[in-house]
Amino acid sequence: MKHCLALSTGLPLIACLLLAAPVQAETALFSVDGYRLGHYRSPTPAHTEHARTLDTRAVQHLLNEQPQTQLIDVYRRPWLHGQFIEDQVHANLPGSLWLANTGDGELSSQWQDYFSHHLQLASHGDKGWPLVFYCRSDCWLGWNAVKRAHSLGYRNLYWYRDGIDGWQQAGLPLVRAQPLVLP
């Protein structure tokens, strides 16, 4: 501990000790652009600004009414030496595209290009194509992905807030998945 000069400065001893204590930097939870930067598995808001929030029944209804709707899983997968590392088996909703690592709060240009490229393909170049983003329940990755898709001009966006967990809890089938490859 640093020497406290309480006597020579005239400060009370407690004030001197508080001033001498190390200050811990507070980590921001959101970027200046509003993306969640960490603690991704924590309670999420009930809604997002740029999409309609769906529960499991609403996802099923949307898929029945608009079968062209594209489901997009943004769950994370380790990336090392230019490849995805399968650290555990991952299953998602049938018919989903898995755009791993695109729900992070900050994306390198590589991951931003990956996201943009695959959204372009999934939507057939139509910014009004229905896109449903999800991850797991209490996961900010899908929320971030909706925000990012909106920033790219997509306007028919949905957020399945309960994600894989909600689907599974409803007794609906999941299928083993692999992330789409980087272009």
How many Cβ atoms are within 10 Å of 115's Cβ, its own excluded?
Answer: 21
> What single-letter amino acid sits at 147?
K
CA 164, CA 149: separation in Å to the nearest integer? 20
DSSP state of 156: S
Q: What is the pLDDT of residue 183?
A: 77
Q: Are 166 and 56 in contact (CB under 8 A)?
A: yes
| pTM across the whole model | 0.85
Per-residue pLDDT of the chain (183 residues; tens, 9 = 90+): 444 444 444 545 444 444 444 444 457 899 999 999 999 999 999 999 999 999 999 999 999 999 999 999 999 999 999 999 999 999 999 999 999 999 999 999 999 999 999 999 999 999 999 999 999 999 999 999 999 999 999 999 999 999 999 999 999 999 999 999 987
Domain ranges of the chain: 52-176
CATH of domain 52-176: 3.40.250.10
Q: Are 96 and 157 in contact (CB under 8 A)?
A: no
Q: Are 147 and 50 in contact (CB under 8 A)?
A: yes
